[in-house]
Structure 1
Amino acid sequence: MAPTAQESALTDGVVSVRGLTKCFGTVRAVDDLSFDVTPGRVTGFLGPNGSGKTTTLRMVLGLTAPTAGTATISGQSYRDLASPLNTVGAALEATSFHPGRTGLDNLRTYAPLAGASDARCAEVLDLVGLGAAAERRAGTYSLGMRQRLGLATTLLGDPRVLLLDEPSNGLDPEGIRWLRGFLRFLAGEGRTVLVSSHMLTEVQQSVDDVVIIARGRLVHSSSMEALGALSVPRITLMSPDAPGLERLVAQMSWSATNRSADGRTIEIENVTAADAGAAAFTAGLEVHGLADRSQTLEETFLRMVEVPPGPQSATTPATLGKAS
């Protein structure tokens, strides 16, 4: 049965995943995954390498058949979309460009599939900052420029939905800053933008919402603001007056998680540095040190996915774009 006009309006541009599961033999790459991604916002699809992000995106695009569950775009499976390339722009891996052809000619190769004109090819090259390099051979492009060319390819059909797998790979700091602004520009036009990454630090300044998975399962889904609220405030307070410091902790009913042997340094949870400083001042406590030890967003993310920090370093259907 065809969707009603009201149903179409409610699902327009929405990527909806319900109970999505994919097994490769005895391995569950994706396990009962459910979430929604809404238009007008940039959503980060996060998880460590091997967590099932790319497999999920491939199922959304109909490239991999799910073992169970559904994935729809604007209320339809990808295969049922009347004009898929004008509805969804996807970049799941480095696009194979002919190194001997110019950037513009490479786009002309893909343009007929999306019904795009030469003018549209030139327009999207300008949009991604490659207008001046349009006549250069793709073989001379840097990795970051090839990433931009891949992004230009996804935009040929002027799609409402963009699914981008690790789009910041190969970009220098200036390119990453440009990408952040560009993704927000696309969402500001009312598009649905889903960006995968294995590191929160790569996307936290550019996304509005997050979907975090580990071992193929959803572990968190919310706005970035709500994710930030999960960080536990923690401070270290130091005073030469050990008895006075202990009295202050007891008086304020603070949760002390660690004390130095001489009692002059105490680590306290769920207290901000500002509140601790004000309480010490009111109590007349001499303070020799006050340090904020709060958990960073990246530490919160790593704790969720249980990845130990290093130099590289409850599952329900969730609708993003709403505070949780």
Structure 2
Amino acid sequence: MHDASVPGTPIEVQGLRKTFGDVTAVEDLSFAVQPGRVTGFLGPNGSGKTTTLRILLGLVQATSGAATIGGRAYRDIPDPLRTVGAALEAASFHPGRTARSHLRIQALANGIDRGRVQTVLDMVGMTEYADRRVGGYSMGMRQRLGLAGALLGDPGVLVLDEPVNGLDPEGIRWIRSFLRALAEQGRTVVVSSHMLGEVQQSVDDVVIIAQGRLVRAGTIASLEAENPPQVLVDAADRDALARSLTAAGLAFVAGPDGFRVATADPGLVGHVTFAAGVELRTLQRLSTGLEDTFLALTGTGAAA
């Protein structure tokens, strides 16, 4: 990964609407994406994410509203591949071609120096496999090749649709660090996903939609602030446990699995209960519950 500064460009979606016959895929959707940040574009399957991205990339015509990159529609950008790089989930590659030949054809078709092919192969860690036929690639290798194609024109904007789909944990970790490095170069990075948990550790901002409408836009930190960490504690003598927590000024709520205490520090809870002579059978820090919040916002009762 080179460390050159690449200027990004803001993305703006304003009053976007798209219908397919009687079906409304996107309805009055507005949001903005800023350079130098990784933005998660999130929503359940069928929420309108891919339709929105296809409108942004000039692949689908909006019914009304606009989706622009640096104030321009994609069709009005003079040299789009040098401005916007995209890797859509449905991207396909000729199984008989090698990664290198695939990228060389892309470069030739877009007037890009062929030397850039080796550069992007190095960037995505594909050099070792560049001369193998794509038909034998794993899902992870195909994802890397898609990223290489998106980066071929050295664009300031990256739009990636479900880039972690089907990847193993190692591949997901690699993509997280890769996206972070791209944003740190100043690029505008948009990553769509149907699961918050998959992108939570790599995004700065989130745009969450459901049924084609915006339900939340803001920083991941603001979403996390709505879900402060808790400590789960339980004891055989719950009355004594409650008295010890109350005496220490700790707020808590009772549940079937014990008390959820409003603190991030299990050590504090352990100290308080030990000092009160309460024998514990459960003491653990709980996750922030962002996935539950995402499911509640999007109206899904289980993982999408």
Structure 2 length normalisation: TM-score?
0.86
- Per the TM alignment, residue 174 of structure 1 is displaced from its structure 2 partner at its CA by 2.3
Choose from 136, 140, 149 the match for 1:140. 136
Q: Could you report, residue by residue, the CA deviation over 1:251-296 in whole angstroms, capped at 9, with x for unpaired residues?
A: 54835344x6xxxx853464544554455466x3524243444542
Unaligned runs of 5+ in 1: 1-10, 314-324
Distance 2:170 2:253 in 1: 43
User: Counterparts of 2:58 and 2:261 in 1: how far apart (Å)?
Assistant: 47
Cα distance change of structure 1 residues 99 and 244 upon mapping to structure 2, 3 Å threshold: closer
Aligned partner of 1:215 in structure 2 is 211
- The Cα offsets for residues 127-172 of structure 1, whole Å up to 9 and x where unpaired, read as 1111122222222222221221111111111111010101122433
The equivalent of 2:77 in structure 1 is 81
Where 2:120 maps in the other structure, the secondary structure is helix
Aligned length: 295
- Tell me, yes or no, if the aligned pair for 2:224 and 2:288 is still in contact at 8 Å: no
Equivalence for 1:66? 62
Match of 2:3 in 1: none
Q: Give the share of equivalent positions with the same residue, in percent.
A: 53
Normalising by structure 1, what TM-score? 0.81
Q: Does 2:257 match 1:254?
A: no
1:31 partner SS:
strand
Q: Does 1:167 align with 2:145?
A: no
- From the superposition, tell whether residues 85 and 267 of structure 1 become closer, same or farther in structure 2 (CA, over 3 Å): same
Aligned to 1:8: none
Residue 6 of structure 1 aligns with which residue? none
Q: What is the distance in 1 between the residues matched to 2:286 and 2:106?
A: 51
Q: Quick one: which amino acid aligns to residue 113 of structure 1? A: A
Once residues 107 and 118 of structure 2 are traced to their aligned partners in structure 1, the CA distance between those partners, rounded to angstroms, is 11
Alignment match of 1:24 (pick from 20, 26, 36) = 20
The answer to whether the 8 A contact 1:40-1:187 is kept is yes
Cα distance, 1:73 vs structure 2: 0.3
Q: Work out the CA distance in 1 between the residues paired with 2:260 and 2:164.
A: 38
Q: 1:278 to 1:75 in 2, by over 3 A?
A: farther
Structure 2 residue runs without a partner (length 5+): 1-6
Distance 1:232 1:188 in 2: 28
**Cα offset, 1:72, TM superposition:** 0.8
Which range moved further: 298-307 or 55-64?
A: 298-307
Match of 1:150 among 146, 153, 166: 146
SS, match of residue 267 in structure 1: strand
Which residue of 1 is the match for residue 173 of structure 2? 177
CA 1:118 to 1:215, structure 2 compared with 1: closer, same or farther past 3 Å?
same
Cα distance between partner residues in 1 of 2:237 and 2:99: 69
